[in-house]
């Protein structure tokens, strides 16, 4: 992503990020240090997100029981929350640039 590339309200950060591997996105998140989650908890959440991503990408049964469906919903909410926090951080950093 180019320096100073805008982050819009929908969270689009340019095509470069869309085409990165999950591991690269996870590394970016670790370096950004989202506000609510850091360290081992962030690593655990990233592993859960990656498992869900892999299940969805390979059309596995990712929510074949009510408990699994609840888990998927919780993961989706956590992921959206982290994405919102990251977008806010990026916008704040971008606003502080000369």
- Structural domain of residue 53, as residue ranges? 36-90
State how many domains the chain has.
1
Asked if residue 64 is part of any domain, the answer here is: yes
Q: Which residues of 69-98 are buried (b: 16+ CB within 10 A; e: fewer)?
A: eeebeebeeebeebeeebbeebeeeeeeee
Per residue in 72-98, pLDDT (tens digit) is 899 999 989 888 888 888 888 888 887
Q: Is 67 helix (H, G, I), strand (E, B) or coil?
A: helix
Asked if residue 85 is part of any domain, the answer here is: yes
Asked if residue 69 is part of any domain, the answer here is: yes
What pLDDT score was predicted for residue 77?
92
What pLDDT score was predicted for residue 74?
92
pTM of the model: 0.59
First-to-last CA distance in the chain? 18
Asked if residue 2 is part of any domain, the answer here is: no
Closest CA to 49 of 3, 82, 8: 82
Asked if residue 73 is part of any domain, the answer here is: yes
Asked if residue 19 is part of any domain, the answer here is: no
Asked if residue 79 is part of any domain, the answer here is: yes
What pLDDT score was predicted for residue 3?
44
Biggest alpha carbon distance in the chain? 52
Per residue in 15-63, pLDDT (tens digit) is 676 778 888 888 887 887 766 777 888 889 889 989 988 888 876 777 7
Asked if residue 83 is part of any domain, the answer here is: yes
């Amino acid at each position: 992503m180019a320096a100073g590339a805008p982050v819009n309200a929908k969270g689009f950060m340019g095509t470069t990020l869309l085409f990165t591997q999950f591991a690269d996105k996870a590394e970016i998140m670790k370096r950004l240090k989202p506000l609510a989650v850091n360290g081992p908890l962030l690593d655990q959440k990233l592993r859960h997100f990656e498992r869900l991503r892999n299940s969805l990408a390979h059309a596995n049964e990712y929510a074949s029981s009510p408990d699994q469906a609840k888990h998927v919903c919780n993961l989706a909410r956590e992921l959206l929350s982290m994405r919102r926090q990251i977008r806010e951080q990026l916008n704040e950093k971008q606003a502080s640039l000369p």
